[in-house]
Amino acid sequence: MTRTHLLTISDVPFGERWSVDVMPQTLMELMRHESMETTLKFYVGRNAEKTADTLYKVAEAKLRTTLRSIPENEQGTQKEKDYNSL
């Protein structure tokens, strides 16, 4: 017996949260979608902006760590070059 799952408002936050941490096939099963197309349409790729923000923050943090490790006598010019390369 096939059970059809109707998408409800309460499912969207659940699916969005898990879409970041699991593969689309797993998410499809969690959401009880019959078709991968449904999963891809509603959840996969919707977090692109969040992903970009996260990557930018990580890159900026790594750069700050690198700049802190530069000896004092080289900091002025090297820091400006590194920071402006972002």
Quick: pLDDT tens for 8-50.
555 668 888 888 889 999 999 999 999 999 998 888 777 677 7
* pLDDT level of residue 86 (50, 70, 90 thresholds): low
Buried-state track 56-83, b at ≥16 Cβ within 10 A, e below 16: eeeeeeeeeeeeeeeeeeeeeeebeeee
- pTM beyond 0.75: the answer is no
pLDDT at position 21: 86
Q: What is the mean pLDDT of residues 1-14?
A: 61
Quick: pLDDT tens for 58-84.
999 999 888 888 776 655 565 556 666
For residue 30, the surrounding DSSP H or E stretch is helix 24-31
Q: Spell out the domain ranges in the chain.
A: 1-46, 48-84
pLDDT at position 29: 93
Buried-state track 19-35, b at ≥16 Cβ within 10 A, e below 16: beeeeeeebbebbebee
Distance CA 29, CA 13 (A): 16
pLDDT at position 1: 45
